[in-house]
Structure 1
Amino acid sequence: MEELFEGLLNDHLGFVVWAAVAFIILLILLGKFAWKPIMAAIADRERSIEDALLKAEAAKEEMARLTNENEQLLKEARKERDQILNEARHLKDQIINEAKTAANVEGARMIEHAKLEINNLKAIAMADVKNQVATLSIEIAEKVLRKQFADQAAQDELVADLLKEVKIK
């Protein structure tokens, strides 16, 4: 077997050496022209993937921040809306109360004015009634006196009675 092994080595030894030299040359050429660009491309791809992951993480953080900020703004907007609604309700109540107060004051003023007007008209009516009563009384007295004074004896008797009632002091 040794002979067979030696024969194979001697015949094929040159082939193995040339194959090894060709493989080493191929490795050098691939290392110089292909391996470096392939490794550079792989490194660039790793960097771009890493950058993309970092950018995605930053975008995720920014999205979370914006979401929180939006929630905060929404809470503030709701709070401001509630405050505005409360102020509007308070203002409405205040306006209603002021209107009621003004209406009550105006109503009281109108009632007082109406009472004064009624009292004035009543006084005018009473004065008119008194004038009419006085006029009627004078007319009745005049008619009574004319009838009484138509008779001369009745006139003399009336004068005598009046003189008796009047006392000189």
Structure 2
Amino acid sequence: MSKYFLAQTLGFLCSDEHEPALLEQAVKITDLEYQKLFEGQAQGRAIAADELGRPILVERPGPSAETLALIERAWRDGQLQATDGVVARHRDELDAGGATSLSATQFQSLQDYRRLLRQWPAQDDFPASDKRPVQVMPAPAAAPAVKRTQARKPAQPAPDAAS
């Protein structure tokens, strides 16, 4: 059984399974070539045809610019959504007039990050994922030390000698 490669379909044919008329349109390849092509494909490369219709291995093209932009917008939207709750909680805490979970500096830093996220698609480096906005959150102010006392256990009555 001989193996053939058909450039029009980038497919492989076997001599004992296909009509001779179809095999005439294909190029004969060795078992070793066949094996190497599939090993290359398993390693992430693609099988293509050269100008003579012979099978070759090529690097797979990366995602298109449109696909990369969609990926980055989805990432950005996820980051905004992930911080929505923190922003809402902070505003609710301010409205209630009590203490807030974030300091004013931390909240401003979060808002700056969210602003950068919204501006990200308009930046020159978009959609390069290594140029994404990075959140820088200032450390919380140290809380005052609180002396904690250990609760005393209630006194246990002495065992009764009569028992």
Fold similarity call, TM over 0.5: no
**TM-score when scaled to structure 2?**
0.27
Structure with greater strand percent:
2
- Greater share of helix: 1
Q: Answer 1 or 2: higher relative contact order, Cα 8 Å, separation at least 6.
A: 2
TM norm structure 1: 0.26
Q: Rg bigger for which structure?
A: 1
